[in-house]
Amino acid sequence: MNYGFVKVCAATLGIKVADVRYNANKIISAIKEADGNGAQIVVFPELSICGYTCGDLFNQCALIESVEEEIAEIAQKTKDCSSLCFIGAPVANGGKLYNCAVAICAGEILGVVPKSSLPNYGEFYERRHFYPADCGVGTVDLCGITVPFGTDILFKAENSPDLTVACEICEDLWVASSPSIRHALAGATVVVNLSCSDEVVGKAEYRRDLVKIQSAKLLCGYVYCDAGDGESTTDLVFAGHNLICENGVCINQSALFENGLLYGEIDVEKLSSERRRMAESFFTGETKEHKIVEFEAGDRPFEITRTFSRYPFVPASGESLKERAELILTLQSKGLEKRVAHTGAKTAVIGISGGLDSALALLVARRAFLSLGKPLSDIVAITMPGFGTTSRTKDNSLKLISLLGASGRTIDIKNSVDVHFADIGHDKNVRDVTYENAQARMRTMILMDIANETGGMVVGTGDLSELALGWATYNGDHMSMYGVNSSVPKTLVKYLVGYEAENIGGECGRVLKDILSTEISPELLPPDESGKIAQKTEDIVGPYSLTDFFMYYSVRWGFSPEKIAYLAQKAFKGEYDGQVIMKWLKNFYKRFFSQQFKRSCVPDGVKVGTITLSPRGDWRMPSDAEAAVWLAALDEKF
């Protein structure tokens, strides 16, 4: 099973101009090699069977007749290959000559797509030899058979519902209204482009950006195959710059001036899922009727070579991480700024635990108050030690509050909770959910009352990962007046706190780094005999690296449980084995479904990334939905 991935190949070969048989033999060898490697789509450059730079030789009958003969030979000698192949060739039809892509699969010529936009400037003078496509879909007699001919042909895989392939040729991409636009609107998930683009300074970067943007706009995979060695260098040089892109991301690209076969895997299942999610905005306007040509895509298993980050919410490293961190912190602080200004709140009241989330909320509040010109002392930061608070987290809380210039208060909640236990008749020696949640709710009541007392608002500290897992006490840390971390997952919280540690530096940076190295815990159960944290969150809900990975691919992309398990095993190879991944993936689904009721009434909070679980925003889910389908899929597959 290839989990919705389609293996594609862009093949740039060293050709000989006008030596059609030589080129055809190279094409045959490349098709066999690519097919043997599991490629389901193989694309060759524009006019690759004879060479783009033939000039007035295109007017020679001998060349055109030889091309037709060799197309038949290619089909005959690749009949055992299941790859859908696109070969660039001049094709005569109705007394005109067209610059075309000939589609061949399993020895059968499926159709011919002519080029729509012919350059007629500078060194390019295609109109001297070719006619631009002037029809929707007709037919052409080629190699003794009649096949579809036209610009609006879609090649649909019978055995892969998400794979539909369309074709355009070189300049078609560079014009304002590319054929691929209507192809994508008609259902094409992969667009191939047979090109012969000359190389000049700066063009490779522009070309790469153009292909990436087109794939992003059209929510498609895009395979761009460029001519290279062998084309005439009378006036130009061609570098064979091949590109494979998917929804704005360059999956693979060739180095300039290197012939060969470039492979990549395009996730058409992901593209179809994204289109369904964006259907109302994506499928706008009317499109021409397309001719559907069916083929059977090769379905042999192949090795998926793409890599998947263990931390999909976090940039890899370097300047991109710093820029992303700065942007997210600014989004968070601007959201809080607006709420403080609108409500006229005098203070921001935050509970500080000595953990990551509350540290980030305090850092965001500091930025907001500096921007508003309000004194940092109007940030009321309260540490509330309870039965599980360790000296390390308490000390870090007090230090951080002081170093950031906030007003600090310490309110020990143990006596209040003891009184509450007495009121409800709970034995404090029974350390159950009541024991834990009473502390969380007591802290929230204190924060709310102090916000009233100081004319302020409570700033929530809970993060996106906790919302996904339901790891919050209902009407305890679950509640606030504005949640600045509500769309920031735990793995990203760590990076943001680390960024601010480096950014602020000094003693404050040291404290933040110590918070980063502290075990994640709600500290609702007493410490161990050595005074260290005994209640470890990741032992209960799973490693946040895994749960964030699961959340990203299930919520953002809607992937199946089996596919998420497969991707996780690739991403976390060497860190977690399949059994551990399955354990926590099942746990994720159980918690995600059972805890929706907590997400149905969360406070307002700024969206900073592609995922938010706000019921007012991107996530609408019934609180009583069942996880049975998702869990059954994992049981059946693994």
Cβ contact 613:467 at 8 Å = yes
Which amino acid type is present at position 328?
A: I
Specify if 401 maps to a domain: yes
Pairs from 517-521 (Cβ < 8 Å, separation ≥ 24): 518/354, 518/355, 518/392, 518/393, 518/396, 520/355, 520/356, 520/490, 520/544, 521/355, 521/388
Has residue 286 got a pLDDT over 80?
A: no
- Domain of residue 523, residue span: 318-637
Q: Where does a domain end: 261, 295, 329?
A: 295
Q: Is residue 281 domain-shared with residue 325, that is, in the same domain?
A: no
CATH code of the domain containing 375: 3.40.50.620
Average pLDDT over residues 523-528: 88
For residue 98, give both structure tokens. 């067209």
Helix H, strand E, coil C: the string for 442-492 is: HHHHHHHHHHHHHCCEEEECCCHHHHHHCCCCCCCCCCCCEECCCCCCHHH
Q: Where does a domain end: 295, 310, 340?
A: 295
CA angle 422, 423, 424 (to 5 degrees): 95
Q: Is residue 328 domain-shared with residue 283, that is, in the same domain?
A: no
- Predicted local distance difference test score (pLDDT) of residue 360: 98
- What is the Cα–Cα distance from 112 to 91, expressed in whole angstroms? 8
170 is catalytic: yes
Of 140-144, 302-306, 374-378, 477-481, least confident by mean pLDDT is: 302-306
Specify if 305 maps to a domain: no
Q: Which residue has the tokens 């204190």?
A: 446
538 is catalytic: no
Specify if 590 maps to a domain: yes
- Predicted local distance difference test score (pLDDT) of residue 120: 75
Has residue 569 got a pLDDT over 70?
A: yes
| Helix, strand counts (H, E) of the chain | 21, 20
Specify if 304 maps to a domain: no
Instruction: Pick the catalytic residue from 7, 9, 26, 46.
Output: 46
User: Which residues are registered as beta bridge partners of 155?
Assistant: 165, 293
Looking at residue 198, the DSSP 8-state letter turns out to be B
Specify if 499 maps to a domain: yes
Q: Is residue 382 domain-shared with residue 494, that is, in the same domain?
A: yes
Specify if 354 maps to a domain: yes
- Predicted local distance difference test score (pLDDT) of residue 317: 73
User: Which residues are registered as beta bridge partners of 458?
Assistant: 349
Q: Is residue 361 domain-shared with residue 290, that is, in the same domain?
A: no
- What is the Cα–Cα distance from 31 to 76, expressed in whole angstroms? 12
Q: Is residue 291 domain-shared with residue 380, that is, in the same domain?
A: no
Q: Is 459 left (phi over 0), alpha (psi -120 to 50) or beta?
A: beta
**Residue of 377, 414, 408, 407 lying closest to 395 (CA atoms):** 408
At 122, the pLDDT band (50, 70, 90 cuts) reads low
Which amino acid type is present at position 439?
A: Q
**Residue of 560, 545, 551, 575 lying closest to 638 (CA atoms):** 560
Q: Is residue 283 domain-shared with residue 324, that is, in the same domain?
A: no
Q: What is the mean pLDDT of the chain?
A: 94
Query: Mind listing the pLDDT tens digit for each residue in 415-425?
Result: 999 999 999 99
Specify if 309 maps to a domain: no
Overall pTM > 0.85: yes
Q: Is residue 453 domain-shared with residue 500, that is, in the same domain?
A: yes
Torsion sign over Cα 566, 568, 571, 572: negative
Cβ contact 198:277 at 8 Å = no
For helices 490-504 and 544-551, what crossing angle results, to 10°? Answer: 120
Q: Is residue 282 domain-shared with residue 325, that is, in the same domain?
A: no
Specify if 573 maps to a domain: yes
Cβ contact 450:382 at 8 Å = yes
Instruction: Pick the catalytic residue from 170, 220, 225, 508.
Output: 170
Q: Is residue 115 domain-shared with residue 156, that is, in the same domain?
A: yes
Cβ contact 482:339 at 8 Å = yes
Instruction: Pick the catalytic residue from 26, 115, 399, 598.
Output: 115
Q: Where does a domain end: 262, 295, 328?
A: 295
Average pLDDT over residues 220-242: 91
Structural domain tally of the chain?
2
- What is the Cα–Cα distance from 519 to 332, expressed in whole angstroms? 25
Query: Mind listing the pLDDT tens digit for each residue in 172-216?
Result: 999 999 999 999 999 999 999 999 988 889 888 999 999 999 999
Average pLDDT over residues 408-416: 97
Q: Is residue 78 domain-shared with residue 205, that is, in the same domain?
A: yes
Cβ contact 244:5 at 8 Å = no
Cβ contact 452:422 at 8 Å = no
Q: Is residue 57 domain-shared with residue 201, that is, in the same domain?
A: yes
Query: Mind listing the pLDDT tens digit for each residue in 18-75?
Result: 999 999 999 999 999 999 999 999 999 999 999 998 988 999 999 999 999 999 999 9
**Residue of 523, 625, 539, 515 lying closest to 587 (CA atoms):** 539
Q: Is residue 337 domain-shared with residue 211, that is, in the same domain?
A: no
